[in-house]
Amino acid sequence: MIDPSTVLRAGLLGISKSDKVKNLIENAPVSRGVVNRFVAGARTADAVSAVVGLQEDGRLATVDFLGEDTLDRRQASATRDAYLDLLSALSDRGLTANGAAEVSLKLSALGLALGADGEKLALEHARQVCELAATCGTTVTLDMEDYTTTDATLSVLRDLRADFPWVGAVLQAYLHRTESDCRDLATADSRVRLCKGAYKQPESVAYQSAHDVDLSYVRCLKVLMEGEGYPMVASHDPRLIAIASSLAGKNHREPDSFEYQMLYGIRPDEQRRLAKAGHQMRIYVPYGDQWYGYLVRRMAERPANTMFFLRAVATKK
Residues assigned a catalytic role? 143, 193
Q: Which residues contact 134 (CB under 8 A, 6 or more apart)?
A: 164
Backbone angles phi, psi at 262, to 5 degrees: -140, 165
DSSP state of 113: T
The DSSP result for 25-44, as a single string, is HHTS---HHHHHHH---SSH
How far is Cα 69 from Cα 224, in angstroms, rounded to an integer?
Answer: 30
Supply the angle between the helices 118-136 and 150-161 in degrees, to the nearest 10.
Answer: 40
Nearest to residue 231, comparing CAs of 268, 257, 205?
A: 257
Reduced to 3 states (helix: H, G, I; strand: E, B; else coil), residue 104 is: strand
